[in-house]
Amino acid sequence: MTSLRLALLSLLALSSTAQSQDLLQAWNQALAHEPQFGAAQAAHQADQEQVPQSRAQLLPQISAIGTTELQERRQTSKLSNQQSSDRAAWTLTLSQPVYNRNAWARYERAQLLAQGADIQLTLDRQDLMLRVSQSYFDVLAAQDTLSTLKAQQAAIDEQLRAADQNFQLGGTTITDTYEAKSRLDLTRASVLQAENTLQVAQDKLAALTLERYETLARLREPLRLPAPEPTNLQTWLDQSSQSGLGVALADIKARAAEEQLKGTQALHEPTLALKAQTGSGSDQTLFGQAGGGPRSLNSALGLELSIPIFRGGETSSQVREQSSRLQQARYDHQFAIQQSIQQTRQYFSGVTTGLVRVQALEAATKSSQDAVEANKLAYEIGVRVNIDVLNAQQQLYEAQRSLAQARYEVLMNSLRLKAASGTLNENDLRAVNDLLQPES
């Protein structure tokens, strides 16, 4: 019943609608409900428990043992002449490690792995930010494509009526009508495909937020996209190669592998522990040796030295294994630095060139709008033919779609650039959200 109730609640949440949603609201919903990030948080909590577990091997260990037994003795020549006795005993043992380099190395490694778990959780949080932002802008892009296609369909339909009217009046041939009708049929097919693309994009966003919204806040008009700050590429490269989260995590893993090697090498070394023991037996002594007098309490205190001599070559093999693991971790660290630098270059270029492309597409959109008006006027006075108007309209709507997509790509590349440098946080999402306005 509990599982069924949870499934119903999830279904209701997924199917609910609201009036409007912006990027920050989508992020908060995903942060609270997205299962992949929830699993990452659980894994982080589990990894933190390695520290107290390894520290416990350095702290006192206390154990209590109680035994009861029946002892029976018979002669070997004759199984008769049986003698039997009952015995009960208890012992309390305290052990405190004095020198155990393997345990210390495991403790140091656990602390490093806990730090790595913190970094990994931050990486998962940044990944969720990027996934929510990408899904959000994918929905906006799909809506832009659908709206421009519908506008294009309406414009072609209007041009079709004009071509048909001119044909009826004998001003043009039937060719103009056929051209407009063919372009209209193609546009209708594109509209159907765009509607399906929008549905898929909305489903992906709803899977992250567990809530579906009727409308999303859109980019403001006019819009001024921010340039990367600082504007120097080398500053970004230095930041990502030194403080990028992927680089930091790889460095932590390399240091943990080094501690693992130290701990494995320490298996060749002796260990020293303080041992204290007390106990009593029902036959007056702890060790089962009968004696006169009242029942006694036996206690012992001393140092226990353990010297490993030969383990069949297992320790040497483990040392060789961990040496190779350490080498692997160091290579992974170098690769993480190279990958971080490559991604930083890519995203920085994506932002800077994207801003120039947006400016060019804004100019292209304006000039395409002017071209449409000019071709319409020229068609009306007989200077241009119908196909010229249709081509000008198609060029306009393609420029509008490209402009919208270019803006979304600039914003996503700016977020990815900060993620590559390890600085992406909620303030960056809030800055992007300030560029949005509720859809009227």
pLDDT at 18: 47
| pLDDT recorded at residue 284 | 60
Beta bridge partners of 71: 85
- Identify the CA nearest to 356 among candidates 410, 415, 435: 410
For residue 320, the number of C-alpha atoms closer than 13 Å in the C-beta half-sphere is 5
Sequence-ordered list of residues with C-beta below 8 angstroms from that of 390, at least 6 positions apart, any chain = 156, 159, 179, 180, 183
- As a whole number of angstroms, the longest Cα–Cα distance in the chain is 136
Q: Which residues contact 16 (CB under 8 A, 6 or more apart)?
A: 211, 212
pLDDT tens, N- to C-terminus, the chain (440 residues)? 444 444 434 443 444 444 568 999 999 999 999 999 999 999 999 999 999 999 999 999 999 999 888 777 766 666 565 667 777 888 999 999 999 999 999 999 999 999 999 999 999 999 999 999 999 999 999 999 999 999 888 888 877 787 777 667 665 667 777 777 888 888 899 999 999 999 999 999 999 998 888 789 999 988 899 999 889 999 999 999 998 999 999 999 999 999 999 999 999 999 999 999 998 877 666 555 555 555 678 888 999 999 999 989 999 999 999 999 999 999 999 999 999 999 999 999 999 999 999 999 999 999 999 998 898 888 777 777 677 777 888 889 999 999 999 999 999 999 999 999 999 999 999 999 999 988 76
pLDDT on residue 287: 53
Beta bridge partners of 73: 83
The three-state secondary structure class of 58 is helix
Tokens of 159: 């041009």
DSSP string, 177-200: HHHHHHHHHHHHHHHHHHHHHHHH
Contacts of 421 (CB under 8 A, 6+ apart): 236, 239, 240, 243, 244, 344
Measured over the CA atoms of residue 387, residue 390, residue 394 and residue 400, the dihedral's sign is positive
In angstroms, the CA 364 to CA 144 distance is 17
- Residue 303 near residue 277, CB atoms below 8 Å: no
| Predicted pLDDT of residue 16 | 44
pLDDT at residue number 274: 95
279: exposed, middle or buried (Cβ count in 10 Å: 0-12, 13-18, 19+): buried
Q: What is the pLDDT of residue 264?
A: 94
Structure tokens at 98: 């004095």
